[in-house]
Structures are given as C-alpha cells and as structure tokens.
Amino acid sequence: MNEKIFILNNLEETHKWARDFAKTLHAPVTVALHGDLGMGKSEIAREIIKTLRGKDTVVPSPTFTLVQNYDGISHFDLYRIGDVSELEEIGLKHAIDNDITLIEWPEIAKDVLPKNTIHVYITQHGLGRKLMIQ
C-alpha cells in the first residue's frame, strides 16, 4: 500500500496542505477523514470546499445536518449515525457515485466505501498534526 505522511506544524500549514490536496480531487472521489475530536477533520474539509467552490463559501459543520452539499461536493459527518442502514437515507451512495465526497467519522461506512477511497488519518504531532494518507 502506498502511503504518504505529512507533518503540519500549525493551522496555516494545514490550510495550505488542504488547498493543495483539493486541487488533486476530481469527481467521483471519496475522501475519508479519520481522527479523534479536535484533530481538524472539519477544518480540512472546510478548506477543501472553499478551495473548490470559492473562499467566500459558507461551510457550516454537518454535525447536526449529517450532510452539506456544495454543487458536486458532499460533506458528511457520520458521528451521529447509529446504524449503517441510515447511510442510504442521507444519500451517501449517490454522493460516492457522483461527487467529491468528504466523510468525517467514516468508520460506520467502512463496508460501503469504494476500494479507491482516499483515507486521511489525522493524529496529534507536537503542537501540530500528522497526516497519513492511504
């Protein structure tokens, strides 16, 4: 498996990484953002969306709505999903088949994610973050 590791020392480096990464994404593609609370999953997703849809795009967290759509980009937060059967109801399969799909807390969807999903594992590294991409 080909994995890449990035050390991001601060929020500015995280934003730059997310902007650069965003420019490599073309639908349909699924990006699974793994990490504990506070690791920056939403921050990375927000910067990807703003890079692709304009810096003035309002990007609220989908924590309570479960999904936000941005003209071909779908941003899911699966933290509150209790059962895998709910994924169809919120349109995950449709998004995976058609959009740039960003998924926070993707563990519950592991059996429905495509094999070519880009997995981004985010962990603490000093005052910054370590990203491992698989």
In order of 63, 66, 87, 105, 109, the CA distances from 82 in angstroms are 13, 12, 10, 12, 11
Task: State the pTM of this model.
Answer: 0.95
pLDDT digits 0-9 by tens, 70-109: 999 999 999 999 999 999 999 999 999 999 999 999 999 9
CATH superfamily of 6-127: P-loop containing nucleotide triphosphate hydrolases (3.40.50.300)
pLDDT digits 0-9 by tens, 28-80: 999 999 999 999 999 999 999 999 999 999 998 877 789 999 999 999 999 99
Whether pLDDT at 1 is above 70: no
d(C-alpha 113, C-alpha 134), whole Å: 14
What mean pLDDT is reported for the chain? 95
